[in-house]
Amino acid sequence: MNNTIFLFISTLIVWGPTWYIIKFQLGIVDPMTSVFYRFFLSAIIILVFCAFKKINLRFTLKEHLLIAALGISLFNINYVFFYLSTVHLISGFVALCFSSILFMNVVNNIVFKRKYPKIMTLVGGLIGTLGLLFIFYDEIVSFEFSKGTSIGILLGVLATYFASIGNLISEYTSKIKLNVVAVTGYGMLYGSITLLIYLLVVGIDLNFDFSYKYIISLLYLSIFGSVFGFILYLSIIKNIGANDAAYVAIIMPLIALIISTIFEGLIWDMNLYIGAFLVLFGNILILKRN
C-alpha cells in the first residue's frame, strides 16, 4: 500500500503541471508534430534504459501487436486530440475533460469485457457527467463546430475515450505479466512511429522551434511527463487496476485548475464551483463501487 501511495503522489507531482506546459508546445510547430517529438524521444530514453539494465525486450508477435494497440491509443491518438484541444481551451478545462475517464472506463468495461457496473457506479457516472455539463453549459447550449471552445471540448472527450482504451489494454498487459517499463517504451515507439507515418502521408511539416521555452517544455514533457509519468501511472494500474488507478483523474484536474487560475487567469463562477464538486463526488462514487 505504501508503494502505491508513493506512486500515486509521484504521478500527480510530475503530471499535474503538464497540462499547462503543453501550451508552450503550441505555435510554430504543428501540435501533432510536437506529440511525435515528445513520445519518440521518450521511447528512445526508455528503450536505451531497458537495454542498459538488461530488461527483457523480447515479446511474441501477438504481444507486440497488443503493445502497438496500446501505443496507438495512448501515445498517439489520445495525445494528438489533447494537444489539439489545448489549442482551444485553457489547460485546466482540458484536464477536466480527462476526468471523464472514469465513466469511459465503465463504458469500455461493458463493451469489451461484458463487465456491468453496479447501480451506484451508474449514479456516480451520471453525477460526474452532470458536473461537466455545469462547467461547459454555455459552450454546450451554443455548440457549433465553427467555435473553438466547442471543438476543444469535443476533442478533449475523444482524447479521454482513447486514453481509457489504452488503460484497459495496459491492465491486460500487466495481467499477462509483461514488464511495465518495456511495454511503455515499445508503446511509445509504436505510437510515435505510426504518428510519423501519418504526418508524412498527409504532408504535415516536421519543423522545429529552437526557442528556449519550446525545448525546455519538450524535455519536461518527454522526460518527466512521459518517461517517469507513464511508468509511474502504469505501475499503479499494475498494482491496483485501471479503475482504482483512475483516482489520479480526480485530483489532477483540480491541480490543473489551480495552475490555470494562477497562470491563465481562470475566473471561477458558480457553474465551475458546482461542476467541479459534482465531478469530484461522482468520480468518488464510481471508484468506491467498482
Q: For residues 122 and 196, is the Cβ–Cβ distance under 8 A? A: no
d(CA 36, CA 55): 25
Mean pLDDT of all residues belonging to the chain: 86
The structural domains of the chain, with segments of one domain joined by +, span 2-116+145-243
pLDDT at 212: 95
272 closest CA partner among 85, 134, 100, 156: 134
Q: Please determine, for residue 258, whether its predicted confidence score (pLDDT) is greater than 90.
A: no
- Digit-coded pLDDT (tens) for 27-53: 999 999 999 999 999 999 999 999 999
- Digit-coded pLDDT (tens) for 191-238: 999 999 999 999 998 999 999 999 999 999 999 999 998 888 878 877
Q: What number is the average pLDDT over the span 112-117?
A: 76
pLDDT at 133: 77
Q: Please determine, for residue 290, whether its predicted confidence score (pLDDT) is greater than 70.
A: no
pLDDT at 144: 60
pLDDT at 242: 64
